[in-house]
Amino acid sequence: MTIDSRRPGIIRALRGLLVATAAATVGVELLNLWYAPEHGFGLAVRTGWALLRTVGWLILIWHVGRGRAAARPLGLILAVTTVFAVGRLVVPRTGVPPLPGVLGFVALTALCVAVVVLLYRHPAVRAHLVRHPNKLAVTRAGFEWREAVPKRPPVAAWALTARVAAFTYSPLMLVPALISVSELGSRPQWLFAVGFWFVAGVAASYAVLLSTFFLLRGKRWAPKLLVWVTLGVLAVDLPLCRLLLGWDGVIRDGVPLLAAALLVLYSLRRVARTPAPVAAAA
């Protein structure tokens, strides 16, 4: 009997659904690229970034196959950001979106919703996604790869969701910053602003890494720090989107970041309402 045959049928169905979602993501993005009225640098960057999400779906399939607890927050943020990333490609600058693109977007949205529902609502899936990554351990027999259960108290699932969602801040800032480089030819006076945007995007990744490191270790001040990081990211990114890319940039690039920020804030609220483990108070 193979390992896959011992898994619950819903897990095999979930993996098939994830494969279909990854394929649909590529198909809809290429369809939007085909029907786009103009093929500029910005569209190429946004399409390339959206296609990179396919790698994320493949990683999620790998996590689900191994029953990793990180699969749930990863699936949630992938579903949310994929919908926004593809949605901004469907809507053209002028006119109405093409019907094939709209139908593909609706189908992809339905797949993403189904993924989130299975990850968070199905009891068999929740019972399956409980394992931790393997690490090299020293035993009497020598070195051995085994599951490394964290020594710290159990982390709330919403804390992991906040961490995964916050790690999207940096790429969601760097993508519009890269697009704005194409505007420097006509507006070279904004060179400093573009450079600052890149620096802020990189700095956001380190700020998120620091704040989420302490968040997962139950520090009471860590959620407040992550809230301030989130507000700072929005305060930098949204005005620069408006200044350098116009309202079109705010809608296409600012709204996905805003969605990720709202998910982080909601997750932190759920974390605050979750009773702390007894061991964490020691």
Q: Report which listed range, 21-25, 139-143, 218-222, 224-228, is most confident.
A: 224-228
pLDDT band at residue 196 using 50, 70 and 90 as cut-offs: very high
pLDDT band at residue 131 using 50, 70 and 90 as cut-offs: confident
pLDDT score recorded for residue 224: 92
pLDDT score recorded for residue 129: 78
How distant is the alpha carbon of residue 79 from its chain centre? Answer: 8
Whether the per-residue pLDDT at 6 is higher than 60: the answer is no
User: What is the Cα–Cα distance from 45 to 42, expressed in whole angstroms?
Assistant: 5
pLDDT tens column, 41-88: 666 676 777 677 788 888 889 888 888 877 888 888 888 878 877 776
What is the share, in percent, of the chain residues with pLDDT greater than 90? 16
> Pick the residue with more confidence: 217 or 146?
217
- Please tell me what DSSP assigns to residue 141: T
User: What is the Cα–Cα distance from 220 to 119, expressed in whole angstroms?
Assistant: 28
The string of DSSP codes covering 50-93 is HHHHHHHHHHHHHHHHTTBTTHHHHHHHHHHHHHHHHHHHHS-S
Amino acid letter for position 22: A
pLDDT band at residue 155 using 50, 70 and 90 as cut-offs: low
User: What is the Cα–Cα distance from 233 to 23, expressed in whole angstroms?
Assistant: 32
pLDDT tens column, 215-249: 888 788 889 999 999 999 999 999 998 888 888 77
